[in-house]
Amino acid sequence: MKEHSTHDLEAERALCGAPFVRRDVIGELEVDAEDFYHPAHQYVWRALCDCFAAAEPVDAVTVGNRLRAAGKLEPIGGLQYLSRLALSTPTADNAPHYAAIVKQHALTRRLAGGLSEALAAVHEGKGGDASYDKAQQALREYETKQPGTAIPIGRVVLERVKELSEIAERRAKGESVLTGIPTGIEKLDELLGGLQPGIVTALGGRPAMGKSALALGIADWATEHGHGVHVFSLEDPRRNYAERVLGRSSRVPIQDIRACNLTQGQWHELRPAISRIAARPRWLYEDRPGLSVQDIIRSARKHRRENRTELVIVDYLQLIRWPKHATNLHQAIQHNVYCLADAAMADELAYLAVAQLNRNVEHRDDKRPRASDFRESGSIEERCKCVLGIHRGSKYGDPEEGIDYPRDGRKPSPEEWEHQVDILVLKNNQGETGYVRARWDGPTTRVY
């Protein structure tokens, strides 16, 4: 194991500095001096804990006095180093995060040490049983000292009730508040409560139905309303995506933008659209070719803090690079969907995964999507807690009686039919299923 992977000195310094900001944080953390890799940090943490136990103030003077009495003040760099520690951590709020890093590295070092002892025993010819016992002991210690993740159900419920109470208070003030990320389609948000954090929502459709346009529209609407969005476009190169963003925002036909065949009036419409989009720093975009699911998850996590990301959009699922062990599309999709679902839950992010539907839909009279139409649908239905389909009947000709009519039974006019798009909620673990009728604008590929 490489040495640099067994410690994080920056996290150790930040953790040692936190009690200088708020002394009570020491009592909230289960960290021992031996958990620190650097000896200086071990000495400082021991002195900090002694000050806290003696109900003394925690500052450079009191901690320095204890270190001086133990003969450790000069070895760590004197009062100057203590002052740097105190100034290096502006807030104690992140101390639990730093403590988890320090603790995890300490466990890793102890595991490596225990396994090294077992290996040394093998080389010294001390017998297989002794070596096996040493290895087992090291593994047991590593497992049992991992941070606990189990919490009382009462705490889970109270946390959620607090969140819901805050939402209710905001609604009482007349604010429109969702529990998830808004899509911009009002009736869809009523059904889903927005795209929910912690789960993957799958959005499927046949080619040219508008699934990518809907995903882009959701990114546009969500960022306009203050939510951080990270888009991974595995199909559209950035210039195409930029043209579609501009077309949606300006209402100028994308074909005119792409050909740069713009009238003076269209340029007039484009300028404010450009300004609006340029002012959206929390709308991130990536189009790197050959992205794996781990690349997507890693990048989303890397940029999450600075972007305050709440929604990750992957367009589209079947284009994510296959894992090395996969020998067919089924295995690849299953692996990638499972990884995205685990990441959504672990990071409490909403994931929207756009997916291609299979050709079964083409052979039915009712060509609206079903959950079973998703390619390799088993893993998608199993791990995606919400499944949406998108359908434009005008792609297949005239409206079908009893299928494409509105609920009032009136046959749509040719213009209405051309602009009609259905978004079907095929699975919704958090509520009702059904469908939402929205509008489609071909020249700008807008769903609204």
Task: Report the percentage of the chain scoring pLDDT > 70.
Answer: 92
pTM: 0.68
Q: How far apart are CA 59 and CA 334, in angstroms?
A: 54
State whether 376 and 435 are in the same domain.
yes
In the prediction, which pLDDT does 184 show?
Answer: 94
440 domain-assigned: yes
How confident is the model over 140-162, as pLDDT tens digits?
A: 666 666 665 566 777 778 887 88
**Over the chain, what is the mean pLDDT?**
87
Domain harbouring 433, CATH code: 3.40.50.300
Q: How confident is the model at residue 125 (pLDDT cuts 50, 70, 90)?
A: low
Count of beta carbons in the 10 Å neighbourhood of residue 356 = 17
In the prediction, which pLDDT does 135 show?
Answer: 72
State whether 135 and 217 are in the same domain.
no
Domain harbouring 87, CATH code: 1.10.860.10
Q: How confident is the model at residue 137 (pLDDT cuts 50, 70, 90)?
A: confident
Domain total in the chain: 2
157 domain-assigned: no
Give the domain range for residue 140. Answer: 1-150
More confident residue, 288 or 44: 44
Q: Specify burial of residue 14 (Cβ count, 10 A radius: 0-12, 13-18, 19+).
A: buried
State whether 245 and 356 are in the same domain.
yes
Mean pLDDT in residue range 294-307: 91
How confident is the model over 222-265, as pLDDT tens digits?
A: 999 999 999 999 988 889 999 999 999 999 999 999 999 899 99
In the prediction, which pLDDT does 1 show?
Answer: 36
Q: Which residues have C-beta within 8 Å of that of residue 241, sequence separation ≥ 6?
A: 216, 231, 233, 285, 287
Mean pLDDT in residue range 100-110: 86
Q: Which residues have C-beta within 8 Å of that of residue 400, sequence separation ≥ 6?
A: 365, 366, 393
What one-letter code names the amino acid at 348? E
166 domain-assigned: no
Q: SS3 of 342, please?
A: helix
Mean pLDDT in residue range 365-383: 82
How confident is the model over 175-224, as pLDDT tens digits?
A: 767 889 999 999 999 999 999 999 999 999 999 999 999 999 999 999 99
State whether 105 and 198 are in the same domain.
no
State whether 215 and 331 are in the same domain.
yes
pLDDT at 403 over 80: no
In the prediction, which pLDDT does 149 show?
Answer: 59
| Range 182-208 burial, b when 16+ CB lie within 10 A, else e | bbbbeebbebbbbbbbebbbbbbbbee
